[in-house]
Amino acid sequence: MLKRVLLIILVFVLTAFTAGCQPEPEEFDESALIAVNDYVDEMTAALLDSTLEADLKGWIRNYEEDDLPLRYDEERRQWLTEHAENLELLYGRHRNSGFPTDEEIAGWQVVIVRGDKEWLLEGSEALGALEKLEALYRELLDVITMIVESTGELSMEQSERVLALIDDLEPRVYEIREVYFR
């Protein structure tokens, strides 16, 4: 009987001790997740805009060798400038003081439920996808700036850079969206 009482006391003490050693769960700011979700959703949709891809392609018809190097008329350069301005406005609207910090996102461990799918969104994965989105956004702005500043007459190297971005744009966007919208 005494052994049983000691065992119960020991189990109770160990349970109390281990419960006291566990860190308090951090408060999760749901509005931060919503802010990131909305930003990723809107920015990736803007990057996949079919008119953006068409304007980046310029007047290329079949990607044949005689269509290179790429050339853009004034109207097409203006449309690309408008795309860049819209992307910058979207970025500014979302990435303001209400957007969570990298440190906050890195600490996430959130169960996401969308329809019948459920998964754990780890902070490192969420932050990595945001970094990829940031890089893609900056790369697109750089390409548009290059096109506009070249007065629409690109070299072969510049043309290949534009074509590589066009080819990579959709797969890279879907890779980013997969993290948040599986």
pLDDT (tens digit, 9 = 90+) per residue, 106-143?
999 999 998 899 999 999 999 999 999 999 999 999 99
**Residue whose tokens read 């109390």:** 16
- Angle (CA) 48-49-53 rounded to 5° is 85
Alpha-carbon distances, residue 93 vs 51, 81, 85, 87, 98 (angstroms)? 22, 18, 12, 10, 10
Give me the residue label for tokens 């490192």: 124
Which class for 48: exposed (0-12), middle (13-18), buried (19 or more C-beta within 10 A)? middle
Identify the pLDDT of residue 64: 53
Beta strands in 60-175, from DSSP E residues, in sequence order: 109-114, 117-122
- Collapsing DSSP to helix, strand or coil, 121 comes out as strand
Q: Residue 58 — left, alpha, or beta (φ > 0 → left; ψ -120 to 50 → alpha)?
A: left
State residue 147's pLDDT score.
Answer: 96
Alpha helices, DSSP H only, in 95-122? 102-106
Q: Which residues of the chain have pLDDT under 70?
A: 1-27, 59-66
The whole-number pLDDT of residue 13 equals 38
pTM for the whole thing? 0.81
SS3 71: strand
Residue 93 structure tokens = 């609207």
Beta-bridge partner residues of 119 = 112
Give SS3 for 153.
strand
Task: Spell out the residues 6+ positions from residue 53 whose beta carbon is closer than 8 angstroms to its own.
Answer: 166, 169
Taken as a whole, the chain contains a residue count of 182
CATH of 29-181, one of 1.10.3470, 2.30.30, 1.10.10, 1.20.120: 1.20.120
Cβ neighbours, 10 Å, residue 162: 21
